[in-house]
Structure 1
Amino acid sequence: MRTLEQIQMRDPFVLKQANESCYYLYGSTDPDIWKGKGIGFDVYRSADLIHWEGPFPAFRPDPGFWSDTNYWAPEVHAYRGRFYMFATFKAEGVCRGTQILVADSPLGPFRPHSDGPATPKDWECLDGTLWVEEDGTPWMVFCHEWVQVTNGTVCALQLSPELDRPVGEPILLFSAQDAPWVDPVKNGAGYVTDGPYAHRCRDGQLLLLWSSFRQGRYAQGIARSASGGILGPWVQEPEPIFENDGGHGMIFSTFEDELLLALHTPNRTPEERPVFIGLSEKDGRLSVR
């Protein structure tokens, strides 16, 4: 058993499984995600969010898998009786992108489902997440990376009902500079968008978490859909909800109906750890408890 303080992880994602009365914790788990050969993704399991079994190998690349580096930000979503992993990969001479994988169990093993990245092949992309609209239409929300476009963006791409391919072209939701709190990185080289995650509030409002940098520190921001749908238009909250060098968050509720924000902090390798932060939700607005 391990505690969160003993788990090196970026981009934490929690899947709650009611039929097992437990939680699964995924994330970027390679010791150094920035360089070197990618190993895969591990998953941990817990009944109480304190003591974690694992790591279990959720994904390991088969021989011939197209990507060998930058294994980032796995999310696992239950959909139509199976479990779908959205994860970022890259290879030399190939644009970074989000591929969709599938398994019959939250523990995996996850296998490629989409034909390579579902994001545009000539875009540098990352951090795809699944959102299913109330009419049942699945969308992938992802980031078009600042390293290619300078002012990073968040886009939505409709997926097939089988989640194996894109349908149509990406739709721009917003850019990093739309948020008043975002500062440039690397001496003004660009503006970052990271880690989108959609959350439907109890009053029906739709929020989108995403991350960037403020005064040199990683921070967790929130945008609000004026229409209540994934295509927005999106209105940025003026201040981040967390700005103490942490982000790439998601929101989940416990079996006791407590709302928690999961993110990693600090934003330094190998010090990053997953943390859970209690949230209050009132009138479609979130605040840290």
Structure 2
Amino acid sequence: MILPAFSQSRRPVLKENVPLDSIRLSDPCILADAETATYYMTGTGGWLWKSKDLRQWTGPYRVAETDPESWMGPRPMIWAAELHQYHDRYYYFATFTNRDVKIDTVRGNEIERRASHVLVSDTPDGPYLPMEDPTYLPPEMPTLDGTFWVDEDGLPYMVYCYEWLQNWNGTIEKIQLKPDLSGTIGTGQVLFRASDSPWSRERDDAGNIIPNKVTDGPWLFHTQTSKLGMLWTSWVFSDYVQGVAYSESGTLDGPWVQEPEPITPPNYGHGMLFRTFDGKLLMSVHSHKEINGRYVRIPHLFEMDDSGDKLVLGKPY
């Protein structure tokens, strides 16, 4: 295995022909870029991997360039990066954390300055650079895992998580983006809360079973019947698991109805969907396992079926 998930300051040697299961990477997100006939994989850590066949990968490349004078500081941590092509440019949606700045203390936990933000490039392999707005979301809120969606109104949105560490019941929210994605418009709107899920559970200090507090990794999709769905991740006690919700209105405003059971096996989560160049729908997730006191996260691909109103998990790819 190479690249521990949080060794974000290292400059590793470029490697070629690396099998997918030999890469340690949280929150893998894959852009299938038709113009270059290349798959680009990002995730936590700020690195980029490239592949022509999804089997062998070259990387890692550093592609995100932030402003050291910004709120992020000179060496921000980068989490859950995603690449999205919109019109004629490429956008890097990611969570940036400045560990030197504390914004709150809740129940004894210091909360670091963390927020979803967007960078831009003219090419899929970067470099990705800051745009107009210095912040996209309120600085006093810890937000994470921002993703991109153009809703039925034709407007672009960021969908993101407001972290449970502060509100103690994580939410998934939307906020409108400027037409060129260089900033946000208005304020965020709650789509649903962690406690709305029938499958994500934990135990309180007295041992009672209660709803889990975590919302993680939203990803929007349409089925082939035009049903709007959202992948998102939480916990079933000690297992990290992928769930799905569907919008009854067909828009981000919902209401969002949660599936009763997770869609992945235990300890697979933070999923996203993409189509291969030959049209196969795949879900990218990472496995989540503790080894010798450290979490190990490895990218995996599953075949998916979206031909009906609901997404169906297929075999490993």
| Aligned match for 1:245, one of 267, 273, 277 | 267
* Residue 263, structure 1, aligned to residue 285, structure 2: yes
SS in 2 for 1:241: coil
| Aligned match for 2:174, one of 143, 153, 156 | 156
Partner of 1:47: 52
Partner of 1:13: 29
| Aligned match for 1:203, one of 225, 238, 258 | 225
CA distance in structure 2 between the partners assigned to 1:20 and 1:133 by the alignment: 27
Q: Which amino acid aligns with 2:274?
A: F
Partner of 1:79: 86
SS in 1 for 2:245: strand
SS in 1 for 2:56: coil
Cα shift readout 1:91-124 (whole Å, capped 9, x = no counterpart):
2125311111011111111111253331222211
Partner of 1:125: 143
List aligned pairs for 1:38-187, cutoff 5 A.
41-67=46-72, 68-91=75-98, 92-94=101-103, 95-184=113-202
The percentage of counterpart residues that share the same residue type is: 38
Comparing 267-276 with 183-192, greater Cα deviation is found at 183-192
Contact 1:10/1:272 (8 A) holds in 2: yes
CA distance in structure 2 between the partners assigned to 1:150 and 1:184 by the alignment: 13
Higher-strand-fraction structure: 2
* Residue 277, structure 1, aligned to residue 302, structure 2: yes
Contact 1:150/1:189 (8 A) holds in 2: no
Q: How far does residue 135 in structure 1 lie from its aligned partner after superposition?
A: 3.7
Q: Which amino acid aligns with 1:12?
A: P
TM-score, length basis structure 1: 0.91
CA distance in structure 2 between the partners assigned to 1:240 and 1:70 by the alignment: 29
Contact 2:194/2:214 (8 A) holds in 1: yes
TM-score, length basis structure 2: 0.83
CA RMSD for the aligned pairs? Answer: 1.8
Q: Which amino acid aligns with 2:283?
A: L
Partner of 1:36: none
SS in 1 for 2:166: helix
CA distance in structure 1 between the partners assigned to 2:203 and 2:28 by the alignment: 23
Cα shift readout 1:223-276 (whole Å, capped 9, x = no counterpart):
000011111110000001014212111011111211111011125455211110
Contact 1:130/1:141 (8 A) holds in 2: yes
Contact 1:206/1:224 (8 A) holds in 2: yes
Q: How far does residue 184 in structure 1 lie from its aligned partner after superposition?
A: 3.1
Larger Rg: 1 or 2? Answer: 2
Q: How far does residue 80 in structure 1 lie from its aligned partner after superposition?
A: 1.9
CA distance in structure 1 between the partners assigned to 2:246 and 2:135 by the alignment: 28
What is the number of residues matched between the two proteins? Answer: 278
Contact 2:223/2:311 (8 A) holds in 1: no
CA distance in structure 2 between the partners assigned to 1:89 and 1:116 by the alignment: 12
CA distance in structure 2 between the partners assigned to 1:185 and 1:145 by the alignment: 19
CA distance in structure 2 between the partners assigned to 1:243 and 1:120 by the alignment: 35
CA distance in structure 2 between the partners assigned to 1:265 and 1:186 by the alignment: 26
Partner of 2:11: none
Contact 1:160/1:166 (8 A) holds in 2: yes
CA distance in structure 2 between the partners assigned to 1:42 and 1:130 by the alignment: 19
Contact 2:191/2:254 (8 A) holds in 1: yes
CA distance in structure 1 between the partners assigned to 2:211 and 2:70 by the alignment: 33
Partner of 2:12: none
Contact 2:70/2:134 (8 A) holds in 1: no
Contact 1:218/1:243 (8 A) holds in 2: no
Contact 2:176/2:185 (8 A) holds in 1: yes
CA distance in structure 2 between the partners assigned to 1:194 and 1:207 by the alignment: 15
Contact 2:217/2:232 (8 A) holds in 1: yes
CA distance in structure 2 between the partners assigned to 1:186 and 1:63 by the alignment: 41
Q: How far does residue 65 in structure 1 lie from its aligned partner after superposition?
A: 4.4
